[in-house]
Amino acid sequence: MSDITILCIDDDPDVLLVMQTVIEKGGYKCITASGGDEGMKLFEENDPDAVIIDMMMERIDSGSRLAENIRNNHPEKPLYILSSIGDNISRMTDSGQLAVDGILQKPVDGDRLLEMLQERFS
């Protein structure tokens, strides 16, 4: 297993399980959080190599506020957004405009997720 750690933050336990399974199968370590506050705490405690954040969690702006907080304080950290409208976001705007490194569509495409991580960390 790689020393690269990915933090996944989503309020849906099924999504977290799928992402954890895919990420670990790809040889990476995975830490999961079920909300923004827990995600920020785990981010600070573990200093992950990359973060995947669900756009909408306990509050409609939880994911975007957390992403903005991480980006403002840790601009070097790879940051990916997960959304049920991810494909539409990708068509309407460039991920750079959102200050993220990539956008993933729900349900998570495991091959696409690993491809994004391999592009970043290989």
9: phi then psi, degrees, rounded to nearest 5: -125, 115
Report the C-alpha gap between 89 and 103 in whole angstroms.
8
List for the chain the helix, strand, coil content (%; round to 5).
Answer: 50, 20, 30
Q: Among 40-44, 65-69, 70-74, which stretch is predicted with the lowest mean pLDDT?
A: 65-69
Q: Answer yes or no: is pLDDT of 46 > 60.
A: yes
**CATH classification of the domain holding 52:** 3.40.50.2300
- Into how many domains does the chain fold? 1
Whether 67 and 39 have beta carbons less than 8 Å apart is answered as no
Domain that includes residue 14, residue range: 5-121
Model pTM score: 0.87
Alpha helices in 47-109 (DSSP H): 62-73, 86-92
